[in-house]
């Protein structure tokens, strides 16, 4: 069990008085060597030293021997922060619509959507234990794509029915592992798919929580459709009236495809962020948010994959897609370092956790992504990387997934499971939690149970990632 989930004292789950057993496991000092991206600075011969899940030091090694260090032959960067996903849907296969839509409400009414996605998802969620399987499969999928933190995973119906989210990626909206005493479902990030459908009382409470600081981040889906769709564009004006005005600091708009210069200027003035999902937008609507205008207005922009049925399988893949889109613009909208910040430091800031993750610096949590070195330079290597290039994913100083040589060094003594990603052998640590039986299943068992359920509905389990040939 990772250190962040092993708090010094056990905690009581609110309303259920259900005690989760805790263990404290000391972690020795660990030093990793490679090319370090902070992401603002590049240390070509860099190092990162961690202890007990935190970064102690990082920088240029300057030829120091650094006794006991591990030479990773990798680019080391902060773990990717995915603040827009629908994790429990990502076991479902890719949805080929072969048409474009005016807005999200159109495709949600299609019979093909209900057959391919909606009904299978609903049936899985009605089966005992399978919602946890769907979430843990989706979290592994996110980790394979380089993410160490996610938003949009399994949420609670009862106070502790989503305890199975403990132990893999950090769930920033339900269990980040940052707080003390670490009570589940009491995070300061709220994720809302249909903010305009909130009850007035709930909207007023969110506003009050933002003003008091009880809530640090309100992530909302809005203006998702074609730029020319009047109903989609109108959602921004409706939002500004909702709860006496949600165009305020702490709010970030997800999608925002139908927004223009005036809306972005209003957002920048109010310190409202934008979460960009280009692949899903272009697949469904043939266009994406005007990020050039958003950037010019001064809006902080994060990048996220949405979900794998129409977006990317993971954040690393979405970064590659965004980099390709960016290269096609004349001139490019973003620099390479800006693109990297859009999946690390910026989403951490929009989620209100910028003092914990998203950077490599002393005191930050040791959430790291290691990418195989290529001959492109550090930034281009990361932007062109495929999941096959992921050498290691570290969460709270513990190796969770990666190449066997590094996993065997960082996670020796733990039960590791073999998986194959893009034809490459990898090892995975599923991190079983004491007193949470849903976390004791192997990844293989989870896949088999989901596959069996989907087969009954004529479907099949989505792969962890669509693979391409790594660039040499």
CATH number of the domain residue 61 falls in: 2.30.40.10
pLDDT for the residue numbered 20:
33
pLDDT tens-digit profile of 161-200? 899 999 999 999 999 999 765 689 999 999 999 999 998 8
Position 22 in a domain: no
Using the predicted structure, report yes or no on whether residue 349 has a pLDDT greater than 60: yes
Using the predicted structure, report yes or no on whether residue 16 has a pLDDT greater than 60: no
User: Which pLDDT band holds residue 65 (cuts at 50, 70, 90)?
Assistant: low
In this structure, are 52 and 100 located in the same domain?
Answer: no
pLDDT for the residue numbered 468:
60
Position 18 in a domain: no
User: Of 74-78, 157-161, 201-205, which range is least confident?
Assistant: 157-161
In this structure, are 327 and 381 located in the same domain?
Answer: no
The pTM for the full model equals 0.92
pLDDT for the residue numbered 304:
98
Q: Quote the number of domains for the chain.
A: 2
Position 253 in a domain: yes
pLDDT for the residue numbered 157:
79
For residue 122, what is the domain's CATH number? 3.20.20.140
Q: Closest Cα partner for 148 from 48, 81, 74?
A: 81
Position 11 in a domain: no
Q: What percent of the chain has pLDDT over 70?
A: 91
Strands 301-303 and 273-276: parallel
CA atoms within 13 A on the CB side of 71: 9
What's the whole-number mean pLDDT along residues 41-70? 89
Considering 65-74, 158-167, 342-351, 456-465, the range whose residues carry the highest mean pLDDT is: 342-351
Assess whether the previous peptide bond of 274 is cis (omega < 30° from 0). Answer: no
Q: Which one of 325, 350, 375 terminates a domain?
A: 350
Rounded mean pLDDT of the chain? 90
pLDDT for the residue numbered 244:
67
pLDDT for the residue numbered 74:
97
What's the whole-number mean pLDDT along residues 146-151? 98
User: Which pLDDT band holds residue 28 (cuts at 50, 70, 90)?
Assistant: confident
What's the whole-number mean pLDDT along residues 276-295? 98
In this structure, are 144 and 188 located in the same domain?
Answer: yes
Position 6 in a domain: no
pLDDT for the residue numbered 181:
52
What's the whole-number mean pLDDT along residues 406-421? 93
Token pair for 371: 């990418």
User: What CA–CA distance (Å, rounded) separates 277 from 280?
Assistant: 6
Q: Which one of 319, 350, 381 terminates a domain?
A: 350
Q: Distance between the two ends of the chain, CA-based, in angstroms? A: 36
Position 14 in a domain: no
């Amino acid at each position: 069990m990772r250190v962040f989930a092993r708090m010094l004292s056990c905690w009581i789950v609110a309303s259920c008085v259900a005690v989760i057993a805790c263990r404290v496991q000391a972690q020795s000092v660990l030093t990793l060597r490679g090319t370090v991206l902070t992401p603002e600075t590049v240390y070509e011969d860099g190092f990162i030293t961690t202890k007990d899940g935190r970064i102690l030091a990082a920088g240029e090694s300057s030829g120091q021997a650094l006794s006991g260090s591990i030479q990773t032959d990798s680019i080391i960067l902060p773990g990717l922060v995915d603040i827009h996903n629908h994790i429990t849907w990502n076991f479902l296969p890719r949805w080929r619509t072969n048409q474009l839509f005016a807005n999200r409400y159109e495709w949600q009414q299609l019979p093909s959507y209900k057959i391919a996605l909606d009904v299978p998802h609903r049936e899985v969620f009605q089966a005992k234990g399978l919602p946890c399987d769907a979430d843990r499969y989706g979290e592994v999928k996110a980790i394979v794509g380089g993410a160490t933190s996610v938003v949009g995973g399994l949420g609670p119906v009862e106070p502790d029915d989503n305890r199975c989210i403990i132990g893999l990626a950090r769930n920033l909206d339900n269990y980040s592992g940052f707080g003390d005493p670490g009570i589940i479902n009491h995070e300061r990030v709220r994720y809302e798919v249909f903010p305009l459908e909130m009850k007035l009382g709930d909207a007023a409470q969110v506003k009050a929580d933002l003003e008091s600081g009880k809530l640090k981040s309100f992530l909302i889906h809005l203006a998702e459709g074609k730029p020319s769709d009047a109903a989609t564009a109108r959602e921004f004006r409706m939002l500004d009236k909702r709860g006496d005005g949600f165009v305020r600091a702490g709010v970030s708009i997800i999608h925002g495809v139908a927004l223009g210069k005036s809306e972005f200027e209003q957002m920048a003035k109010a310190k409202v962020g934008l979460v960009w999902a280009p692949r899903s937008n272009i697949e469904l609507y043939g266009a994406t948010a005007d990020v050039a205008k958003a950037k010019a207005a001064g809006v902080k922009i994060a990048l996220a994959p949405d979900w794998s049925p129409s977006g990317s399988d993971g954040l690393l893949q979405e970064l590659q897609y965004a980099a390709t889109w960016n290269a096609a613009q004349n001139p490019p909208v973003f620099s390479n370092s800006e693109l990297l910040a859009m999946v690390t430091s910026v989403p951490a800031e929009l989620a209100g956790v910028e003092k914990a993750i998203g950077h490599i610096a002393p005191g930050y949590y040791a959430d790291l992504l290691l990418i195989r070195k290529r001959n492109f330079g550090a930034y281009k290597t990361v932007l062109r990387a495929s999941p096959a290039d992921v050498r290691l994913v570290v969460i709270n100083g513990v190796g969770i997934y990666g190449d066997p040589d590094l996993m065997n060094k960082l996670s020796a003594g733990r039960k590791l499971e073999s998986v194959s990603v893009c034809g490459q052998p990898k090892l995975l640590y599923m991190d079983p939690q004491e007193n949470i039986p849903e976390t004791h299943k192997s990844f293989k068992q989870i896949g088999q149970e989901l596959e069996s359920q989907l087969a009954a509905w004529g479907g099949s389990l989505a792969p962890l990632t669509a693979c391409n040939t790594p660039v040499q």
